[in-house]
Amino acid sequence: MIYIIEHLDGNRLYKWCFLEYKHISEIVGKDNLLFTNIKSKKAKEQLLIYGKVESKSITELQLKKVCILDQLADKILSPNDKNNFDCFIFGGILGDYPPRKRTKEKLSDKLLCEKRSLGNKQMSTDTAVYTAKKILDGTTFEKLEFQDELEIPVKDGLSIELPYRYIKEYGKIIISNELVAFMKKKKGI
């Protein structure tokens, strides 16, 4: 099973995005991960140790049995979908609030294939991949635990509000430690 991240931010690979991609590699393993639509040489070099890298867009690759993960899809991903598809495609795109339906615009509307949702709340790409993997490994969506919105304290009483859905394991939020450190540093400077 291959997890595909279609990078949708053009030539740019923001540090935030890079840290999410690194986290995704830890979640699914580099051998099961493909980054597509990576146009810049620098981004390619940065990502090669975390997965396979392809400069073509997913729309130019002739892949069969693919499924796009899109919040706006009608059907929820189910454990049985591991038998229906070989590749699961996610938008490599930072969250925005309110969501601007960019996954639909830039991905779902461009590729004729099945789509699945992970619920009607927006998640970061790494959270979406984590959630999809849990489901494909056998846990139904209804059994998963989530928290909507997350506040990360930084310093001097300041905090960062993340208006997204996060998955929890044994009551603990799953988020990249490196990303949290990056947010704290960024806010602190």
Binding site for ligand SAM (CB under 6 A): 69-71, 90-91, 93, 95-96, 99-103, 117-119, 121-125, 128
121 closest CA partner among 97, 153, 155:
97
Residues with Cβ within 8 Å of residue 27, at least 6 apart in sequence = 126, 129, 130, 133
Question: By C-beta, is 53 or 103 nearer to ligand SAM?
Answer: 103
> Shortest approach of ligand SAM to residue 116 CB, angstroms?
7
Question: By C-beta, is 41 or 140 nearer to ligand SAM?
Answer: 140
> Shortest approach of ligand SAM to residue 156 CB, angstroms?
29
Q: Under DSSP, is residue 29 helix (H, G, I), strand (E, B) or coil?
A: coil
Question: By C-beta, is 57 or 122 nearer to ligand SAM?
Answer: 122
> Cα 120 vs. chain centroid, distance in angstroms?
15
> DSSP for 90-152?
EEE----SS---HHHHHTGGGS-SEEEBS-SS-B-HHHHHHHHHHHHTT--GGG-EEEEEEEE
Question: By C-beta, is 157 or 173 nearer to ligand SAM?
Answer: 173
> Shortest approach of ligand SAM to residue 155 CB, angstroms?
26
Question: By C-beta, is 43 or 103 nearer to ligand SAM?
Answer: 103
> Shortest approach of ligand SAM to residue 13 CB, angstroms?
15
Question: By C-beta, is 45 or 86 nearer to ligand SAM?
Answer: 86
> Shortest approach of ligand SAM to residue 27 CB, angstroms?
13
Which residues does residue 147 pair with via DSSP β-bridges, in sequence order? 166
> Shortest approach of ligand SAM to residue 122 CB, angstroms?
5
Q: For residues 8, 29, 73 and 13, what is the CA-based torsion angle, rounded to 10 degrees?
A: -10
Residues counted in the chain: 189
Q: Under DSSP, is residue 20 helix (H, G, I), strand (E, B) or coil?
A: helix
